[in-house]
Structure 1
Amino acid sequence: MQNVLVYIIIALGLSIVINIFLKKIGISQIIGYILTGTLIAYGFDLHKASHSHALEMAGEFGIVFLMFTIGLEISLAKMGSMKREIFANGFLQVGLTTVVTYLLAHYIFALGPKSSIIIALAFSLSSTAIVLTYLKSSKEIYTPYGQNATGILIFQDIAVIPILILISFLSKEGDQKIFVILWHTLLSVSVVIAVMFTFGKRVVAWLLHFSSSSEVDELFMGSVLFIVMASSLFAYYMGFTYSLGAFVAGMIIAETKYHHKVESDIAPFKDILLGTFFVVVGMKIDIFLFLDNIGLIIGLFLLIFIIKSLLMFLVLRLSSSSATSLKTALFLSQVGEFSFVIFALAASGHIIDEQLASLLVLIVIFSMIVTPFFVPFINAITTRLIKEKDIVTDMSALKGRENHVVVCGYSVVGKFVTQYLEELDVPYVIIDNSNKHVQEALEEGREAYLGDASKTAILQALHIEKAAAIIVTLDNIAKKRLICEAVLNHSRNANLIVKVVSLEEKEKLSDLKITNIVDGKVEVARVLVERMLTCQLKYR
């Protein structure tokens, strides 16, 4: 017991030091945990301990909490608003990549059908942790390629669940045909989801309401942990992975008003347990295997990179411009962290040979180490390869423009704003980061440009400092705040008018020196009372 505590303390301290260093050079903390596991395994000869059932269970629950937090972000409403990005682009990307990779693995590399399908599915996934972290920090997540990448990653995260379930069935069902296994998988998972979204949803809603009304943080946190663990065990006892139950529980909570609090409260547990999982992965790495096969590993990585980029570009080109398609494809060209889970489970279930699984894990690790160094140059690479513009990005026509109104966003409210401005004969210009919205405005004869209004270069091109007003009509509070911060940083005296839809949104913007915040509900109430008074006057 004492030795175990010593190993845990050393691993904790080592991971902190390594991740602090890696953070400074822009490498994901996932790599830090993997390196920690490798150093611990070789430093204390713990390769056998990496196969400990207790340690593997602790690591697996890191994936459970990760899938729970992903479920929190994938509410049914969000999935409905991003149907094309998630279901069309995501399905085509995963499907085509899986088919092509399967054919290569089975017919070119002569692997068995079960091994080939698992490898193909694993390589079709990209790194949610690395890509979304970069897109959020660079504020590119709201660009067209950022939205495309986010949608595809969401579909990939959803696809992880049936993949993990498929592995569990492949491990148990012997020599049954793959179509029979797929049919059993689909039928069984439908039953579990139906039960959880009916009976389970009522229990979760009641428990969260009861614990939050007690105003005791420990009870609320305990309720969340109970929901995650109970849902995971329910799925496990039904013959599936723990992750399925956790993922569905996250989706259920995402439909409640508690999802933001739950997400923030659960983050420390998720990160610690997820770190444990990657430490265990690191303990299984064979350094000598990497050195002996370094040429093969790099070659296979490049092959995967080219296949994924090309297929994704072709899929996205059906609905997006060449530049947007290429950027998205390059962002998602690597292999993701869930491949570790897939290969680990497949090896333990004797679907893939352990030596082959070790080699595949090394390919994934190499991919994830390279990616953080590669993604900052994607925009420059795309600009060199593709000269076209996404729709209207040339803002040279705005040179010398002044006393104009800049309308940020051309959705429903933005359209009404431009109509009223036209009635008042006020000059305006529309800026939106959606190809669809800009195209609609252009077709309606309005001056519109494609761009992210939170970028300094865009604000300079729009001559914000000379504008009569900047009207922000977007619905997304995160986007609104980014734009407001950028506008005020660029021009402190800007006449900034922002639409909000709730007191919560108003509170989130209260620390900014916004000229006028218009609360949609308050304005509707005011108009209703004015109309009531008008009716009374006419009646009299």
Structure 2
Amino acid sequence: MAEHLYPGFFSELLVLLLASLASVLLFQRLRLPDILAYLFAGGLVGPFGFGMVTNDANIHFLSELGLVFLMFELGLEFSVRQLLHLSRAVFGLGSLQMLLTLSVFASALFFALHWPIGATLVVAGSLALSSTALVVRELRSLKLINRHHAQLAVGVLIFQDLAALLGLILVPALAGNGERALHEQLLHVAEKGGILVVILTGAGKWLLPSIFHEVARSRSEEIFVLTVLVIILLSAWLTQAFGLSMALGAFLTGVMLGEGEFRHQVEVDIRPFKDILMGVFFASVGMQIDFGLLVEEGRIVLLGIVLLILAKSVVITLAARIMGESATTGSKTGIILAQASEFGLALITLGAQLGVLAPRIASLALAIVVGSLILAPWLIRYNFEISQWIGRLVGQKVSGRDREMSRIPPHLSDHIILAGYGRVGQMIAKFLKNNGIPFIALDPDGNRIKEGRAAGDPVIYGSCARIDLLRRCHMERARLAILTFKSLSEARRIITQIRRQGYTLPIVVRTQNEADHAELIAAGADYVIPEMLESSLVIAAEVLSLLGYSKTVVQPQIDAERALHAQIKEPAAPDPGEG
């Protein structure tokens, strides 16, 4: 460890952190991702930049440590429950996408560019992956995570994480010493990886819970943080002792802790270490990018980025069509997943460190991955518009259902969902428009829809009895829903489904009979308005007014009667676990 001692290691680490700090501040002002800032900082001070950090041993040490924490973070985010919930998307669409994409990229690199088999498999596998962290973050920020195409994308990402786990096991085998045939080396490494998975899974199920319960009794944050750090580094050391990547052990440990009751505490306590060391990892990746080579071969890099995005979009769309999805759904899913991933950066970096990838190939591959990550937020944000444009470009026949759904503004938010566009619905719409409140209306009557559209109102064909249609109206971003149902059983079923799927927006229900109150409130409605009661109150007020009673006498009686029959659910107390 002498090469990491002061002053060489300390001065280079200080230079790297200063450059990272300045870059992050600059990139945040430009509203660019922090990952790009760290990559830029590493390239700036690295051996291909100003040469302020040149010690290969130090770079390798920082990269390995940062990679361990990156993989631990990805493991924490991996959800076994979500894998089971989205099993069709994970094992159906996910496996098909991975097979097709890997085959396309591997064929192009091996047969067209004549790359070595090891480099072909590492780069093709890296490019076939998409960024779980970036995609999920963008979909959540846009409040699209519950849309059908977004759920398909999440399912594919889960399978890709499993495939990347296999990649971490197999990449060291591709760097074998040549004493064994490639298939024997792969089999040997796979056996060791299987044994390691069994050991770590067993420890996670039977040993770690007892350790953390014992640590929790101490009520010491320092002991808890130290325990987490020791477990992460111990699992990384154990993996390395098996002759595998330390990142594999960190990822498996993250998966195990992510499924336990201490997950949230682990995330909070490890965040300072994780953020800094992940930044150091991305900076160390930036150091390995030969910017001089990129200037010379900039066209190749740009072409590679374009081909990567186009190829993945087309292949994923094709895979979705094979799985029975519509062309529109498939293209939106493909556009969302068209980028490469942080896992890809990790695999390319690991391949370069083990000598599987030549420096030139590693630099070009890293640049293509980074370029696709830069474009990814815009592709995700405008996936609907891009898919519509592509459909028109290729002359795709748009179905009536898709045409109707295209009338829903893709970025509609803070709006009212108004189900029922009869006389009452039209009056509500008028008041909403007069007060500048956005809304989307649904109605199954074609004449009403024509009237609404002629008046400039956003009205689509459909009924609130279809939960999928309510989801397409961006229910996760809506401020309130006003729903009208034909029957009590139908209302109870839909309201119960809305609440079970995690939607918390206030629900106002119009009913014919006052007797429906209690059941609809119990199902999850916030406010139930019986139309017969309101009509009778209006008539009563008018009668008393005609008989000469003043408004000051009549209104308190009307308010008292309305309060007597009111069925309003008290707002739920905020969940102390939410922040």
Range with bigger deviation, 95-104 or 239-248: 239-248
**What is the match of residue 205 of structure 1?**
209
Matched, 1:172 2:176: yes
1:99-138 equivalences under 5 Å are 99-138=103-142
One-letter code aligned to 2:476: S
Q: How does 1:165-314 map to 2 (within 5 A)?
A: 165-174=169-178, 176-314=180-318
Cα distance, 1:431 vs structure 2? 5.6
**Correspondence 1:338-417 to 2 at 5 A:** 338-386=343-391, 387-388=398-399, 389=401, 393=405, 398-400=420-422
Identify unmatched segments of 5+ residues in structure 1: 404-427, 439-447, 489-494, 501-512, 520-540
Partner SS for 1:454: helix
Distance 1:99 1:288 in 2: 31
| CA shift digits 1:101-154 (9 cap, x unpaired) | 111111111112222111211110112232222112111122112212222222
Q: Which residue of 2 aligns with 1:35?
A: 40
Cross-structure match for 1:527: none
Q: Does structure 1 retain, via aligned residues, the 8 Å contact 2:94–2:155? A: yes
Q: Deviations over 1:359-405 (max 9, x none)?
A: 221222222222234332222112333444469847998323869xx
Percent identical across equivalent pairs? 27
1:13-162, aligned counterparts within 5 Å? 13-41=18-46, 44-46=50-52, 48-49=54-55, 51-52=56-57, 54-162=58-166
Q: 1:198 to 1:338 in 2, by over 3 A?
A: closer
Q: Does the 8 A contact of 2:102 with 2:124 survive in 1?
A: yes
Name the residue aligned to 2:537: none
Indicate conservation of the 8 Å contact 1:38/1:283, yes or no.
Answer: yes
| Aligned partners of 1:497 and 1:517 also within 8 Å | no
Give, in angstroms, the shift of residue 22 of structure 1: 2.5
Shift of residue 516 of structure 1?
5.4
State the shift of 1:474 in Å: 5.3
* Count of residue correspondences: 456
Residues 89/366 of structure 1: CA separation in 2 closer, same or farther (3 Å cut): same
Tell me which amino acid in the other structure corresponds to 2:362: A
Structure 1: how far apart are the matches of 2:221 and 2:338? Answer: 42
Asked if structure 1 preserves the Cα contact closer than 8 Å seen for 2:173 and 2:185, the reply is yes
Alpha-carbon deviation of 1:462?
A: 6.0
Cα separation, partners in 2 of 1:286 and 1:463, compared to 1, 3 Å: farther
Q: Quick one: distance in 1 between partners of 2:263 and 2:29?
A: 32
Equivalent residues of 2:419, 2:464 under 8 A apart: no
Q: Distance in 2 between matches of 1:265 and 1:474?
A: 35
For 2:148 and 2:234, the matched residues in 1 are separated by 39
Query: Structure 1 residues 432 and 199 mapped into 2: Cα distance closer, same or farther (>3 Å)?
Result: same
Q: Which residue of 1 aligns with 2:570?
A: 515
User: Cα deviation per residue 1:440-472 (whole Å; 9 max; x = unaligned)?
Assistant: xxxxxxxx764431234x9579699xxx99946
AA matched with 1:27: L
CA distance in 1: counterparts of 2:421 and 2:358, whole angstroms: 64
Give the letter for the 2:19 counterpart. Answer: L
- 1:16 shift after superposition: 3.1
> Aligned to 1:328, which of 322, 327, 333?
333
Distance in 2 between residues matched to 1:170 and 1:453, nearest whole Å: 48
Q: Deviations over 1:262-296 (max 9, x none)?
A: 12222222221111011111122222211110111
* Distance in 1 (alpha carbons) for counterparts of 2:295 and 2:130: 25
Superposed CA RMSD: 3.5
Q: Distance in 2 between matches of 1:69 and 1:179?
A: 32
Q: Distance in 2 between matches of 1:223 and 1:62?
A: 18
**Is the 8 Å Cα contact of residues 392 and 450 (structure 1) preserved in structure 2?**
no
* Counterpart residue type for residue 320 of structure 1: E
SS in 1 for 2:32: coil
Structure 1 residues 158, 449: CA separation in 2 closer, same or farther (over 3 Å shift)? closer
Task: Confirm or deny: 8 A CA contact 1:232 1:242 kept in the other structure.
Answer: yes
Residue 453, structure 1, aligned to residue 457, structure 2: no
Aligned-partner Cα distance in 1 for 2:26–2:114: 42
1:47–1:222 distance in 2 versus 1, CA, 3 Å: closer
**Rg: which structure is higher?**
2
Greater CA drift, 89-98 or 28-37: 89-98
Shift of 1:4: 4.9
Separation in 2 of the partners of 1:401 and 1:320?
A: 38
| Equivalent position of 1:420 in the other structure | none
Task: Sort the Cα spacing of 1:256 and 1:338 in 2 relative to 1 into closer, same or farther, 3 A.
Answer: closer
Secondary structure of the corresponding residue to residue 48 of structure 1: coil
Q: CA deviation at 1:204?
A: 0.5
1:480 aligned partner, one-letter code: Y
Distance in 2 (CA, whole Å) between partners of 1:58 and 1:369 is 24
In the TM superposition, residue 200 of structure 1 has moved relative to its aligned partner by: 4.4
2-structure distance, mates of 1:383, 1:23: 31
The change in CA–CA distance for 1:330 and 1:25 in structure 2 (over 3 A counts) is farther
In 1, Cα distance between the equivalents of 2:111 and 2:54?
A: 35
In structure 2, C-alpha distance between the alignment counterparts of 1:514 and 1:5, rounded to whole Å: 61
Contact kept, 8 Å, 1:65 with 1:246, in 2: the verdict is: yes
> Following the alignment from structure 2 to structure 1, what is the Cα–Cα distance between the partners of residues 133 and 332?
18
Deviation at 1:320? 2.4
- Matches of 2:219 and 2:125, distance apart in 1: 45
Aligned-residue offset at 1:234: 1.5
AA at the equivalent of 2:87: K
Q: Match of 2:54, as an amino acid?
A: K
| C-alpha distance in 1 between matches for 2:500 and 2:143 | 14
Secondary structure in 2 matching 1:19: helix
Q: Which of 429, 451, 466 is matched with 2:464 structurally?
A: 429
SS of the residue 2:356 aligns to: coil
Q: Give distance in 1, aligned partners of 2:18 and 2:54.
A: 22
Residue matched to 2:449: none
Cα 1:176–1:116 shift into 2, 3 Å: farther
Look up the SS of the partner of 1:301 in the other structure.
helix
Residue 480 (str. 1) matches residue 503 (str. 2): yes
